[in-house]
Each structure stands twice: as structure tokens, then as C-alpha cells.
């Protein structure tokens, strides 16, 4: 009698199913979709930020930078922005100023994207990039 009850209990434990329920699967899909939504909005913001930084770095490597006026620097940056599809900042928004160590570009802008109904992601940039290598 003891052996039969032990065998029944053993088989019941082995046949017990394990896995996700429908509700668990839906919650997982919702979390993954929310993360994907955030990624689709945030990643382009950072790509554009690094495109702007690489444009300023390419201007720093110009051999005739010391002889260029602020307007020439703005024109060179705007040409690169147009090629790189930088849309939410213009070269005229960048301030070129003289500092003790040389010329400096002040990169100050704000990129704002809507995630969904009245919820926004904001990237604020406030940097001073020296033009002298």
C-alpha cells in the first residue's frame, strides 16, 4: 500500500507542466515593446549627437583652421551637417568664441522626442569643445 501511494505522487510531480501562462507572456511582450519603443526614440538622438561631435572633430583637423573666420567655420560645419542629415541644430546655433587656450565651440542644444501621448524624452547638451588640437 505504501509503494502504490509513493508511485502515484512521483508520477503526479513528473507530469506537472511548467512554463509561462498567457498573462505572463502578455506582460513579457508589453515590457519588450516598451523597451523597443524607448530604444527607437533614444538611439537616433544619440546617433545624431555623435554625428555632431564627429563633425566638430573633423573641423578641428582642418589644416587652415587658424586662418578661418567664425563664418568660415560655421559654413564648413553646416556643409557637413547637410551631408550627415543633422536636422535639429544649425551651424549658426553653435557659438565660436576665443578662450585663453584658443578657439572654442559652445555646443548647446536640446533634442526632444515624444514617446507617446504627452510623454517626452529630452537630451540636453551643453559642451564646450576646444578647436585647438
**This model's pTM is above 0.75:** no
Q: Give me the phi and psi of 103, to 5 degrees please.
A: -80, 145
How far is the C-alpha of 48 from the C-alpha of 68, rounded, in Å? 26
Instruction: Tell me if 7 is assigned to some domain.
Output: no
Instruction: Tell me if 1 is assigned to some domain.
Output: no
Instruction: Tell me if 42 is assigned to some domain.
Output: yes
Please check whether residue 91 is in contact with residue 74, taking contact to mean a CB–CB distance below 8 angstroms: yes
Distances (CA, A) of 76 to 56, 59, 102: 10, 7, 19
Instruction: Tell me if 115 is assigned to some domain.
Output: yes
Instruction: Tell me if 109 is assigned to some domain.
Output: yes
Instruction: Tell me if 12 is assigned to some domain.
Output: no
Instruction: Tell me if 40 is assigned to some domain.
Output: yes
Domain residues for the domain of 36 are: 21-130
- What is the per-residue pLDDT across 79-107, written as a single tens digit (0 to 9) for each? 888 888 888 888 888 888 888 888 888 99
Residue given cell 533634442 in the structure block: 111
Section 9-38 average pLDDT: 81
Instruction: Tell me if 9 is assigned to some domain.
Output: no
- Per the structure, the count of domains in the chain is 1
Mean pLDDT of all residues belonging to the chain: 84
Helices (H), 61-129: 70-83
Of the candidates 72, 59, 132, the one whose C-alpha atom is nearest the C-alpha of residue 102 is 132
Of the candidates 35, 113, 107, the one whose C-alpha atom is nearest the C-alpha of residue 74 is 107
- What is the per-residue pLDDT across 43-71, written as a single tens digit (0 to 9) for each? 999 999 999 988 888 888 888 877 888 88
Amino acid at each position: 500500500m505504501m509503494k502504490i501511494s509513493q508511485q502515484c505522487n512521483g508520477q503526479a510531480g513528473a507530469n506537472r507542466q511548467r512554463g509561462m501562462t498567457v498573462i505572463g507572456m502578455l506582460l513579457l511582450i508589453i515590457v519588450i515593446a516598451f523597451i523597443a519603443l524607448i530604444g527607437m526614440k533614444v538611439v537616433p538622438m544619440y546617433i545624431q549627437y555623435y554625428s555632431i561631435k564627429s563633425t566638430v572633430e573633423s573641423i578641428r583637423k582642418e589644416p587652415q583652421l587658424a586662418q578661418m573666420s567664425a563664418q568660415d567655420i560655421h559654413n564648413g560645419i553646416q556643409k557637413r551637417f547637410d551631408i550627415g542629415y543633422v536636422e535639429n541644430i544649425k551651424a549658426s546655433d553653435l557659438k565660436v568664441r576665443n578662450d585663453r587656450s584658443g578657439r572654442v565651440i559652445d555646443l548647446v542644444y536640446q533634442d526632444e522626442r515624444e514617446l507617446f501621448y504627452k510623454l517626452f524624452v529630452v537630451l540636453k547638451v551643453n559642451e564646450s569643445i576646444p578647436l585647438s588640437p
